[in-house]
Chains A and B, each alone.
Chain A
Amino acid sequence: MKKINWLLTALVLIISCVPSQIKGQEKKRMYGNTPIEIFPYNNYQKAYKYFFVEPKQFYGPGREKLAPKDLKEVRIGLLGPLEGSNLMPLGKQMLQGAKLAMEEANAKGGYRGLPFKLMIHNDVGLWGAAANEVVKMDEEGVWAWIGSIDGNVSHVSLRMDLKLEIPIVNTGDSDPTYTECGIPWLIRVISDDRQSNYALINQIYNKDKHSRVAVLRTSNRYGRVGIANFTDAAVRIGHPIVIEERFDDGDTDFKQQLERVKKLNVDAILIWGNAKESAFILRQIKTMGMKQAIYGSDRMVSTEFLKIAGKDAEGIITTSPYNPDANSLPLAAFQSNYAKRFGSEPDVFAAHAYDGMNLIIKAIQKVGLNRALIRDVLTDLKTFQGYQGVTGKIILDESWNDIGDIYMAAVQNGQFKFSVSPPIVLKKH
């Protein structure tokens, strides 16, 4: 009898809930590899509308346009932090990776005998300058472009790009909201901070069994947006971060922030910033005698970080969008050719720019010189889905965001050692 009563009561509740969601979206999918346990509000109610569950199409005209007949070169743009930015070293690597891919394509005949030409644009300057640079790229007649790294720059340029309708392959911006604007001219071939955040949640809380975590993050957009999914997920699994401290790019003294962290008896610290500041923070943590486990963002995976942090880097764990030590012939060839061409080791931004530029070149070779058709082939989730680049297999989701493998990077004996991030298994709080 009791069972029947319970069943009937449940039926009453189900029926009474129907009206509120009667017009809600029927199809539902967890976007961005998000575990169901930490999908926003999922523990409490179904959302009325789920975005990014299917790719947006471009319904405008342009596919009928014929390529100009008097071309002497095929122009592809690059937008990056090349002057006046603390991200210049990253921008330089991006530029060199793109250059190498283009030079290799030109050595093989370019596009039907026409050489590819890189149209280089600096993204730093007056506020909104990146949008002005996109206008210039349109005037130059680029067929597609790659870039950039900074989230502000990417968003500003994306809005202008939508008006001008130029395909973008982003190879360096990890801001999750970038591909969440729903613009059908953009694909991203580097894993974003959402993927990185989930991998860190898995590592810190599940694998390493920490529960009291402090966050030190840069105060700019990279820090604010980059850590957001970690913070949210930590709450949803029942371990809200204990304290979030901020610092500015260029800071060298973090004593005040660390003193506050020290008082709170945390068992792990997550640092989210550029390589230089992260290394200084790490050194100061050790100097202050703090013994907590240290985790960080993928920007720490650099020779600059290892050089500044020295032996203090031992044992820290970060994520990495790819594995530079992977047993891959294309990767080995790229690393060798890059070193010969530029006299230095390629980093993550060089490798992804190399893959991104190759994708654009292959798209042009497949469909010709038409922006809409290049967009179509880059976004069809078939032609280049699973593309095997030097950074690994590129898997795009319905928002054209790379949700392929992400790696954990741990410093051992002064070097980063890489391993695939294990599947996330979370306990519902």
Chain B
Amino acid sequence: MKKIMKTALRKPIKSTLLIIAVLGLGSMGFILTDKNPAHPNAQLTANGSAMDKSVLVSKNDFDNASSKTETKAMPIYGHWRTFTEKDGLPANKAYSIRIDGNRVLVGTHEGLAVYEQGKWRTYTTKDGLAHNGILSIDVSQLTGDVWLGTMGGLTRWSAGKFEKFTQFNSGLPNDIVYGVLCDGKDVWVATAGGAGHFDTFTKSWEIFTEKNAPMHEPWTYGVSTGEGKIFIAAWGGGVIEYTKKTKKFRDYTDPDGKMEIDLLPDDGVVHNVTTGTSWANGYLWVSTYFGLSRYDGVHWKGYFDHDSGLTSNFINFIRAVGPIAYVCTDKGLSTTDGQNWVTYAKNENDYNGKVTITKGNKKTSTASTPSISNNFVLSVDVKDGIIWIATSKGISRGELLK
């Protein structure tokens, strides 16, 4: 080592050139092998036509990326069928969607639509809804009750009856309920005036605002659960995490603290104006109007439309199911396992569209006939190989392609 140092001091030019060569090769290696987890050097294996492909990723890539990832294939959906007012929806604009056993619940601008045995049935304020604009839906696994977050309060649909919770007759923080979550006996809501927790056994409410939680302001937008925690998307406040066991809060914000930039993509949430959270398979996914973030409990990873297969940074909603995150954007639906991407988007002037698969820097697109109902996607749910998406102009049902 001493000899090398002495040589370097005696022959600065040669040494510098050597360093350049080493670093240059290192940089080229970085560029070519692209160790960014968003773009692994994975193998794509396909069978049959493009529409029948699944993106298969080598086990090593997942082992390297994270031991939490179990599934090796990116699902691809097709055989899309669209439903609109003509098919029985009360409105084309659908804010929320949830699969509940053999039926599908759709929150539209003009009421709740329920699809069962091939038929649509609509429920409105005349039936007892707090408001016809239904922004969020969840179903209690404990009781089977359906909880609806509306533009005029929270509604419980239980045993055929609708029950209203408003800021005037209950502890609901505010009547605008952007997000609702059933978690055992508990119901959590994200409202325009703070987060709320309703214990259905004791019938007691807790309200969380900037007064008793680490929120900048009480503007909550989404709520999800996982690993004994509640994750609240707070508009301007990043993610508020509540540990159920200790009843303690903590927050995750963008460390650069600036609205106009993201200094580093992997240092925290990409922006503090968050729109949703979803936890699955050991990952917390966070959507914003400025990009997507993923957190594994130790490391954050940021995704933008310029550096990944994410179709748009403007994300309305996110739901993670197993290893896949379903990302609802204003330019279509993107799905990802954190490394590979599949995006579904409709053509502007017909019913067809395209499916774009992104793996590293390589993008391949193929036609989709027909496509999703509209590219402004507001909600999604997936179960047993069936995907339902709610958009600003109709809803769509897709099937997992074999």
Chain A residue with minimal CB distance to B265? A48
Does A205 belong to the interface (CB within 8 Å)?
no
Does B236 belong to the interface (CB within 8 Å)?
yes
B-facing residues in A123-181 (Cβ within 8 Å)? 126-128, 130-132, 135, 152, 155-156, 159-160, 163, 176-177, 180-181
User: Given A126-B167, A132-B175, A49 and B259 touching (CB < 8 A)?
Assistant: no
- Decide: B16 and A155 in contact? CB cutoff 8 A: no
B-facing residues in A44-64 (Cβ within 8 Å)? 45, 47-52, 56, 58-62
Q: How far is the CA of A177 from the CA of B217 in the complex (A)?
A: 13
CB distance from A265 to the nearest CB of B (A): 30
- Decide: A155 and B217 in contact? CB cutoff 8 A: yes
Q: How far is the CA of A156 from the CA of B235 in the complex (A)?
A: 9
Chain B residue with minimal CB distance to A19? B30
The stretch among B70-78, B191-199, B292-300, B350-358 that forms the contact with chain A is: B191-199
- Decide: B13 and A183 in contact? CB cutoff 8 A: no
Interface size on B, residues (CB 8 A): 65
B-facing residues in A1-41 (Cβ within 8 Å)? 1, 4-5, 8-9, 11-12, 15-16, 18-19, 22-23, 25, 31-32, 34, 40-41
- Which of A12, A34, A49 touches B20 (beta carbons < 8 Å)? A12
Q: What string of 1s and 0s marks CB contacts (under 8 Å) between B259-283 and chain A?
A: 1111111000011010000000000
Q: Is the interface of B mostly helix, strand, loop or mixed?
A: loop
- Decide: B167 and A11 in contact? CB cutoff 8 A: no
Does A221 belong to the interface (CB within 8 Å)?
yes
- Decide: B20 and A11 in contact? CB cutoff 8 A: yes
Does A182 belong to the interface (CB within 8 Å)?
yes
Q: How far is the CA of A126 from the CA of B176 in the complex (A)?
A: 12
- Decide: A19 and B259 in contact? CB cutoff 8 A: no
Q: How far is the CA of A130 from the CA of B36 in the complex (A)?
A: 43
Size bin of chain A's contact surface? 35 or more
- Decide: B270 and A49 in contact? CB cutoff 8 A: yes
- Decide: A8 and B20 in contact? CB cutoff 8 A: yes
Chain B neighbourhood of A60, CB < 8 A: 330, 374, 376, 392-393
Chain B neighbourhood of A132, CB < 8 A: 152, 174-176, 192
- Decide: A32 and B260 in contact? CB cutoff 8 A: yes
Chain A neighbourhood of B312, CB < 8 A: 59
Interface-central residue, B263, B270, B302, by most chain A CB under 10 Å: B263
Chain A neighbourhood of B263, CB < 8 A: 40-41, 45, 47-48
Chain A neighbourhood of B152, CB < 8 A: 132, 135
- Decide: A8 and B330 in contact? CB cutoff 8 A: no
Chain A neighbourhood of B260, CB < 8 A: 31-32, 34, 40, 50-52, 180
Q: How far is the CA of A62 from the CA of B331 in the complex (A)?
A: 15
- Which of A32, A127, A130, A181 touches B173 (beta carbons < 8 Å)? A127
- Decide: B193 and A25 in contact? CB cutoff 8 A: no
- Decide: A163 and B376 in contact? CB cutoff 8 A: no
- Decide: A61 and B392 in contact? CB cutoff 8 A: yes
- Decide: A221 and B193 in contact? CB cutoff 8 A: no
- Which of B16, B314, B374 touches A182 (beta carbons < 8 Å)? B314
Q: A19-B26, A41-B261 are in contact. List 15 more A-B contacts (CB 8 A).
A: A5-B12, A19-B27, A40-B256, A40-B261, A41-B258, A47-B256, A49-B270, A51-B260, A59-B331, A61-B92, A126-B167, A126-B193, A128-B193, A156-B192, A163-B151
Q: Name B residues whose Cβ lies closer than 8 Å to a Cβ of A.
A: 12-13, 16-17, 19-20, 23-24, 26-27, 30-31, 36, 92, 95, 131, 133, 135, 151-152, 167, 173-176, 178, 191-194, 209, 217-219, 221, 235-236, 256, 258-265, 270-271, 273, 289-291, 302, 304, 306-307, 312, 314, 330-331, 374-376, 392-393
Query: What are 8 inter-chain pairs, A to B, with CB distance below 8 A?
Result: A1-B13, A5-B12, A12-B23, A49-B270, A61-B376, A130-B192, A180-B273, A221-B217
